[in-house]
Amino acid sequence: MHSHKSLPAACLGMASVLLLSACSFSGEDTDDGRIALAMMQPPRSGLTPLSDDAFKLSRWSAAETLVNLDEEGDPQPGLATEWVQVDDTTWEFTVRDGVVFQDGTELTADTVAHALSHAAAATPKPRILDGVELQVSADGGTVTVATAEEDPLVPQRLSSPQLSILAESAYSGNTVDPVGTGTGPFEIVEVNGTTSARLDRFDDYWGELALATGIDVSFVPDGTARAAALRTGEADIVESIPTSQASLLDEDTITEVPMPRTNTLYLNTQDGPFTDPGLRAAVREAIDAEALVEGVYEGRADIAEGLLGPALPWASERTDRTDATESDEPDGTAITLATFTDRAELPEVATVLEQQLESAGFEVEQVVREYANIEEDALNGEFDAFILSRATVLDSGDPAAYMTSDFSCAGSFNIAQLCDEDVDEALRAAERAPAGDERRAAILEAEAAVLSTDAAIPMLHERVIQGDAARVQDSAKDPRERVLVTAQTRLN
């Protein structure tokens, strides 16, 4: 991985608010068309696209994938112009002509096959390929992708930033270096470890040239510091402003973007008091989600109507529930309510929930730890109730995998310990359904089956708060957090 000094030396300690006034996020000339971007998390894996760092590459428009997703989650052309399903396990993708990598080499079917084959053979695999076996080959201008089993989501999988297509020069042994090897409208030219990065406009981009001349990125884990950078003009675009800081900013500079993330209360259906469906129903009736949204999230969240929220527009097509179980009186039933500290709002959510449940007649004992120290107990069913902020759309843009993981008998993340024949049948139907309206309808049927058990009680859907200075035009507001600075993003 390249490592150079890309920003003034005083800017290298951006985690401290005290340093913000001493430097400029956008370099010494703040009027040269370069965008100053403050991001929440520094790279964890040297910006390799095979890790979660891939989402930085896509948010900077530095690297691209064969397929893009539209708002509904349907696949659209990217570096592939079209594709066809040849048979149950084989797909053929036509590679776009006239694309060059930032190292000057040409995008071909062979370079695409090289990149995808490297990802498929990586250890560990990119998360998007968990449980998926890919065989990739090139022939002329097309790439053939074969899977070991039928997979209707192959195009959606290939939209994951973890399967970005980089030049062959990016790959050396187990190392993947995206510096100067992508195809996007911006080229990474300098990286300062976990502190900052610099991107310049790529003038040989195959599409519309970027309107900004470059991006100066600073990694600022401290939320107060990020908010202060927007307020003082040190940053043009700021990721993930904490709810507690949003009220201190000009409302015209912040945008609340619905996230595919739901705060859900999982109830242990296998052991303890919540083996009783009537007591699970009593919990459902006791929860006042509006009080959580207004009190804990200061109104910057959405009350949940289901497991899937407004970040998936088609989820609103669900039908009203008519099969709700009648509740039993808790009569002092003792329960343990657990959550974790890593997401700042959850301990407060637990406190408010404890009050609501005790008002309904439960006796509540709270357990709150760091996530690393509580996940194993949660998965082993050690708690009666567990509050989780859960991403409901994984890398493929499809929620069926999350629902199967969390609510099927064999689910690997089944905190509710749920094993219900009707739920499993509905989940299997959703997993098998072809992409598009049929699959979305099957997913909503599976959601209804899960909700009918009261094993998981969705409370609210989170929003991410993005900050844009007044001079910023056309930054992306993406619920999936795949896109942020695009070729159209610019400064007035």
Q: Which of 284-298, 383-397, 415-429, 462-476 has the lowest mean pLDDT?
A: 383-397
pTM of the model: 0.79
pLDDT in tens, 395-427: 777 898 889 989 999 888 999 999 999 999 999
Q: Which residue has the higher pLDDT, 130 or 220?
A: 220
pLDDT score at 16: 39
Question: For the chain, which domains are there?
Answer: 1-62+184-236+469-492 (3.40.190.10), 63-171 (3.90.76.10), 258-463 (3.10.105.10)
pLDDT in tens, 36-85: 999 988 998 889 998 889 999 999 999 999 999 988 888 999 999 999 99
List of residues 6+ apart from 66 with CB closer than 8 A: 78, 79, 80, 93, 95, 112, 143, 158, 159, 163, 165
pLDDT in tens, 319-376: 877 678 999 999 999 999 999 988 888 999 999 999 999 999 999 999 999 998 999 9
**Location of structure tokens 């919540």:** 274
pLDDT score at 322: 66
Contact 301, 423 (CB under 8 A): no
Cα 458 to its chain centre, rounded Å, is: 18
Dihedral of the CA atoms 141, 144, 145, 146 (nearest 10)?
180
Cα atoms in the 13 Å half-sphere on the side-chain side of 203: 1
pLDDT score at 12: 36
Q: Which of 82, 182, 211 is nearest to 141 (CA)?
A: 82
Percent of the chain topping pLDDT 90: 74
Pairing of strands 171-172, 175-176: antiparallel
**Location of structure tokens 């890919």:** 134
Contact 366, 350 (CB under 8 A): yes
Q: Which of 477, 440, 430 is nearest to 315 (CA)?
A: 440
